[in-house]
């Protein structure tokens, strides 16, 4: 509570620099450096991009062995069905008609010009299917990522994305044929890709991401569409509220949609980011944002640097899905990714690939939990399910499908409310060796179910159980009847051909089978016999210790997962040779021990991978007493330097008053000690508090602190005066924007700023009895208008509990002290061919068609180009040489702009006698022509008079707008010429007068 108060005070104050003091450095190292079993996210090329580039075609490899499970309903050489989470690619009607879809192509290349929706149907609950399709349903339109559904009217549809037109709605009414409707193009969202769709009745709800541009205020973000009439009319694109508060960018396929009646759920979760669900109970009119799993730094940059921190957290790897049950409750499943990023690490965020399973959450839960049945099983009985993450053999590729070894969850529900989930997982020990450098494990499809609303789970049931084959991208129908209806992709090679970055996929294109199976719900039971599997321990630190401070599990930043128990972290213990009572350097070993409910035990021994020897840790001696400072105070460490600092306001509260008969609430002290703040063993603070508020007088409160090694601090004292009445008013201290004290009644100068707002520099208020009263200060007086020059007096008033009041003032003087800025158009040095006419006094001057003019703008006065004084420096286009032209201007407040200069070089070779040839052409200052030309009134409502005196001959009068366009031309003799400019828009114009003596340009403003 006190820390919150102190931080609030510092926030208002903007950190009083005088209260911050460096008090030392943190010298003892909390942990040993170790080779952690971690990885970063390899950014595979996100595919589904619609750039129509055609690489060399590779002949498909026909598979001579196929899955013996289920029925093949189609095929595809385009083997990427999703980048992360799966679409809803199978739909079951109430009459048992099953519709299956997939992204289909048989071109044998990544460009896949024939890519689109593969579609097949069974009318007998999945028993028999039609022949495999030979073409996409969209005709000539290239699409991908199908989401299948059927409306209440019987309309079958597949929603996909197109190459450059956004979302496509391909539908077929009863008795009709397939029809494309490109909704994205119709509604102006041609960048949409990777849709997700939910349907109930005639209500269709969709979200779609993007490769370029923003959605819901973030790069790659989602936009929402809906149709409440079965796809006849559509609304969108619409933003999701506050999406930019949880994500910097959004990954492809990291979201899912479900619909139940008028309730809509949109679940989102991706690598190192929060898991979020948007819920609407009114068919998408309004949304409530629910954070199922937050992180310490939701907006951590995509490319973090040293100093960025993400506290370890289990989030999604992108395989996020959701379902609304029969009671309207939202359920979420996601592929667990244990992510982190420490302040001293560059790059990341990082994650522990072996800490993998499916996580589950519903609206009744405070946080997601591990589904123990989805933790990988030790099929090869070698004592571990963890894989080697080395970059070379025997390292195992784990990012063939996103980042997870267990992922791609897909949910369903039956009429009784039982929940079902399919997922794909790497099979322990089932290795394929496609090349000599990497090993890969095949994946199978599994099913689990819950008959109690997600409280407990049964399974897993291995749907495919196909050694030597790759089974991935499973999608199950939302409706589960007597069967769970599963559609998935199968081939003989691990990974995909489409995504082969970082050697995570396959280098050879293959013909992938699309398979269907209907699994009877009664088959999903716990395996028997059960695969005996020990817990897997995952850690981030190998901690050192300090004398007499026992190690705790938190120091390891460790956890343990077990099949089928799930998270067994709470039962972990610490072993090894360490003896915290005897300090020694690099002398002890450590172990972590995890045990499951079957008494299977895993012992994690920390081995130096370079030497093969155990990692030795240190027990530091402790001879330093704790540091103690009276509150309000806080010790903190600068993560970048390791320096220890103290923020303290104790000097304001080392003597305090308490009214006789009241209760004295002691503020206590802040402490710092290595054993406490680095190693986690709390110091003991002893407070000698003799204060008796019944008796007037002065009392000294003394504080001492001792650590676990018996080191005792120097005492800190506070004087407490028990007084008869509180007669002293509170104190208010003002600060400037640098944290320095500012005098009461002083003048605080600020720069006028058009469009700006006043920002209070800061203040604190405190009282001899009531303590901090900053939050009670009432600000009054003038409202500072930062856009208007002038003086404004602000008052700050506060009262204590006894009614004593204090008022201080700050005079804010809004001034224009900022000079205007002159900008030259064109280069600062120009070359003029002999005899080429150019008027450098004109703001819109050109030379050979290129601009050589100028502009001038002021933060208050705006465009003051017409006020610029130009000295042409005797420029003569007929005389070879170098000339310097200067430009100067001041604003209405007298602030002078920095003089700008332009160097003009008239090329050699002019064959003209320069004596007198440029008389009248050398600039307005040399002939004083400016004084002989007047333009009035200024400003004008439309009629502008130009008076020319003492100038022989005729004069050309031209009027230009601010873009340099000539809008009026007249010739006149000496006298007054009236110009009607009323037909032109309000604004600034330039009147150029050219005579035998030269040219002068003056500005005039037309008002309406």
Helix or strand or coil: residue 428?
A: strand
Residue 549 near residue 567 (C-beta atoms within 8 A): no
Six-digit token pair at 431? 């290795």
Helix or strand or coil: residue 308?
A: coil
Question: Residue 924: what pLDDT?
Answer: 37
CATH topology of domain 816-926: Immunoglobulin-like (2.60.40)
Alpha-carbon dihedral 434, 437, 441, 442, rounded to 10 degrees: -20
User: What does the pLDDT look like over 475-493, one tens digit per residue?
Assistant: 999 999 999 999 999 999 8
In the chain, which stretches have pLDDT less than 70?
1-68, 434-438, 501-504, 911-928, 962
Question: Residue 232: what pLDDT?
Answer: 98
Question: Residue 87: what pLDDT?
Answer: 97
d(CA 705, CA 697): 27
778 Cβ neighbours under 8 A, 6+ residues apart = 796, 797, 798
pTM summary value: 0.76
Six-digit token pair at 286? 């309004």
The CA–CA distances, whole Å, from 106 to 36, 53, 118, 505, 743 equal: 43, 17, 11, 19, 79
- The correct answer on CATH 3.30.1380.10 for the domain covering 928-1008 is no
DSSP state of 932: G
Residue 929 near residue 936 (C-beta atoms within 8 A): no
User: What does the pLDDT look like over 573-595, one tens digit per residue?
Assistant: 999 999 999 999 999 999 999 99
Question: Residue 57: what pLDDT?
Answer: 31
Question: Residue 1004: what pLDDT?
Answer: 84
- The correct answer on CATH 1.10.1160 for the domain covering 534-620 is no
Largest CA distance in the chain: 115
d(CA 53, CA 314): 38
Q: Which of 225, 84, 189, 229 is nearest to 145 (CA)?
A: 84
Q: Which of 729, 733, 749 is nearest to 741 (CA)?
A: 733
d(CA 322, CA 361): 9
Burial pattern 279-288, b for ≥16 Cβ within 10 A else e, equals bbeebbeebe
Question: Residue 921: what pLDDT?
Answer: 41
Q: Which CATH class is domain 731-815?
A: mainly beta
Spans of all domains in the chain: 71-523, 534-620, 623-723, 731-815, 816-926, 928-1008
d(CA 441, CA 493): 10
Helix or strand or coil: residue 35?
A: coil
Residue 770 near residue 764 (C-beta atoms within 8 A): no
Question: Residue 37: what pLDDT?
Answer: 55
Q: Which of 179, 100, 84 is nearest to 137 (CA)?
A: 179
CATH topology of domain 71-523: Neuraminidase (2.120.10)
Helix or strand or coil: residue 245?
A: helix
Q: What angle do CA 370, 371, 374 make, to 5 degrees?
A: 115
Burial pattern 22-42, b for ≥16 Cβ within 10 A else e, equals eeeebebebebeeeebbbebe
Q: Which residue has the tokens 């289909």?
A: 104
**Domain 623-723 is classified in which CATH homologous superfamily?**
Immunoglobulins (2.60.40.10)
d(CA 864, CA 268): 52
* Cα dihedral across residues 64, 65, 66, 68: positive or negative: positive
Q: Which residue has the tokens 């929060």?
A: 274
Q: Which of 893, 912, 889 is nearest to 843 (CA)?
A: 889
Can you list the positions of beta strands (E) in 756-899? 763-767, 771-772, 778-781, 790-799, 805-815, 821-824, 829-832, 846-847, 850-851, 854-858, 862-863, 869-871, 881-888
Q: How many CB atoms lie within 10 A of CB 701?
A: 21
């Amino acid at each position: 509570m006190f820390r919150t108060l102190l931080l609030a005070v510092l926030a208002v104050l903007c950190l009083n620099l005088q209260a911050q003091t460096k008090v030392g450095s943190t010298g003892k190292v909390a942990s040993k450096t170790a080779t952690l079993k971690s990885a970063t996210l390899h950014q595979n090329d996100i595919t589904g991009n619609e750039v129509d580039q055609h690489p060399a075609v590779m002949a498909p490899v026909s598979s001579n062995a196929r899955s013996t499970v289920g029925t093949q309903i189609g095929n595809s050489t385009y083997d990427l069905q999703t980048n992360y989470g799966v679409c809803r690619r199978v739909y079951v009607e109430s009459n048992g008609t099953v519709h299956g879809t997939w992204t289909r192509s048989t071109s044998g290349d990544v460009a896949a010009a024939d890519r689109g929706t593969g579609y097949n149907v069974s009318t007998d609950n999945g028993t028999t299917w039609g022949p495999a399709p030979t073409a996409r349903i969209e005709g000539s339109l290239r699409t991908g990522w199908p989401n299948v559904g059927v409306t209440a009217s019987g309309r079958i549809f597949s929603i996909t994305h197109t190459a450059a037109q956004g979302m496509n709605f391909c539908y077929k009414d009863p008795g009709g044929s397939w029809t494309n409707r490109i909704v994205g193009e119709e509604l102006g969202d041609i960048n949409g890709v990777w849709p997700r769709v939910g349907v109930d009745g005639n209500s269709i709800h969709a979200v779609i991401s993007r490769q370029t541009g923003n959605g819901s205020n973030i790069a790659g973000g989602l936009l929402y569409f809906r149709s409440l009439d079965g796809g006849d009319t559509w609304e969108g694109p619409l933003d999701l509220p506050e999406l930019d508060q949880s994500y910097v960018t959004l990954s492809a396929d990291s979201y899912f949609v479900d619909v139940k009646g008028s309730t809509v759920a949109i679940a989102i979760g991706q690598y190192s980011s929060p898991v979020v669900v948007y819920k609407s109970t009114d068919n998408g009119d309004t949304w409530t944002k629910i954070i199922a799993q937050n992180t310490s730094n939701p907006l951590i940059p995509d490319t973090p640097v040293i100093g960025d921190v993400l506290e370890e957290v289990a989030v999604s790897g992108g395989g996020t899905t959701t379902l609304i049950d029969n009671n309207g409750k939202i359920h979420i499943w996601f592929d667990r990714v244990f992510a982190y990023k420490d302040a001293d690490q560059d790059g990341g965020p990082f994650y522990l690939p072996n800490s993998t399973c499916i996580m589950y959450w519903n609206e009744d839960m405070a946080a997601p939990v591990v589904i123990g049945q989805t933790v990988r099983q030790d099929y090869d009985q070698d004592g571990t399910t963890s894989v080697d993450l080395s970059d070379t053999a025997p390292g195992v590729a784990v990012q063939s499908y996103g980042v997870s070894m267990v992922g791609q969850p897909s949910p369903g529900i039956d009429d009784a409310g039982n929940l079902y989930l399919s997922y794909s997982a790497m099979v322990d020990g089932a290795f394929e060796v496609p090349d000599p450098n990497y090993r890969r494990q095949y994946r199978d499809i599994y099913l689990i179910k819950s008959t109690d609303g997600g409280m407990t789970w049964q399974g897993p049931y291995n749907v495919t159980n196909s050694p030597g084959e790759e089974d991935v991208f499973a999608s199950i129908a939302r409706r589960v009847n007597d069967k769970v209806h599963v559609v998935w992709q199968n081939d003989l090679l691990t990974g995909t051909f489409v995504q082969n970055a970082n050697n995570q996929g396959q280098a050879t294109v293959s013909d992938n089978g699309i398979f269907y199976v209907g699994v009877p719900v009664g088959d999903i039971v716990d395996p028997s016999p059960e695969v005996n599997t020990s817990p897997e321990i995952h850690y981030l630190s190998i901690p050192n210790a300090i004398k007499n401070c026992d190690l705790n599990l938190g120091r390891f930043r460790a956890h343990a997962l077990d099949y089928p128990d799930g998270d067994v972290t709470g039962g972990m213990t610490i072993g090894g040779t360490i003896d915290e009572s005897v300090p020694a350097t690099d002398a002890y070993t450590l172990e972590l021990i995890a045990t499951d409910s079957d008494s299977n035990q895993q012992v994690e021994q920390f081995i130096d991978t370079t030497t093969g020897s155990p990692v030795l840790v240190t027990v530091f001696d402790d001879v330093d007493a704790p540091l103690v400072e009276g509150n309000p105070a806080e010790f903190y460490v600068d993560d970048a330097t390791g320096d220890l600092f103290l923020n303290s306001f104790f000097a304001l509260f080392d003597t305090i008053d308490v009214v006789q008969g009241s209760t004295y609430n002691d503020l206590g002290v802040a402490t710092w000690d290595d054993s406490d703040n680095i190693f986690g063993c709390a110091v003991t603070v002893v407070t000698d508090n003799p204060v008796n508020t019944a008796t007037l007088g002065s009392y000294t409160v003394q504080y001492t602190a001792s650590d676990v090694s018996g080191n005792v601090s120097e005492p800190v004292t506070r004087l407490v005066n028990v007084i008869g009445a509180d007669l002293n008013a509170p104190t208010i201290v003002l600060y400037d924007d640098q944290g320095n004290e500012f005098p009461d009644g002083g003048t605080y100068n600020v720069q006028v700023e058009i469009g700006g707002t006043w920002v209070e520099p800061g203040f604190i208020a405190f009282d001899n009895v009531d303590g901090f009263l900053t939050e009670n200060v009432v600000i009054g007086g003038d409202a500072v208008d930062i856009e208007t020059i002038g003086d404004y007096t602000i008052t700050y008033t506060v009262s204590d509990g006894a009614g004593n009041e204090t008022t201080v003032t700050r005079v804010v003087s809004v001034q224009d002290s900022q000079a205007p800025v002159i900008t030259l158009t064109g280069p600062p040095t120009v070359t003029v061919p002999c005899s080429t006419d150019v008027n450098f006094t004109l703001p819109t001057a050109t030379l050979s068609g290129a601009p050589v003019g100028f502009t001038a703008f002021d933060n208050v006065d705006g465009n003051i180009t017409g006020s610029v004084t130009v000295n042409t420096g005797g420029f003569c286009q007929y005389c070879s040489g170098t000339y310097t032209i200067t430009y100067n201007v001041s604003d209405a407040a007298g602030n002078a702009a920095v003089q700008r200069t332009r160097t003009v070089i008239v090329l050699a070779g002019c064959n003209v006698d320069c004596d007198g040839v440029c008389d009248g052409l050398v600039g307005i200052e040399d002939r004083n022509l400016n004084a002989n030309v007047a333009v009035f009134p200024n400003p004008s409502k439309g009629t502008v008079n130009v008076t020319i005196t003492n100038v022989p001959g005729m004069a050309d009068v031209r009027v230009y707008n601010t873009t340099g366009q000539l809008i009026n031309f007249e010739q006149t003799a000496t006298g007054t010429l009236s110009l009607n400019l009323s037909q032109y828009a309000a604004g600034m114009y330039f009147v150029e007068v050219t005579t035998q003596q030269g040219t002068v340009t003056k500005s005039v403003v037309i008002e309406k």
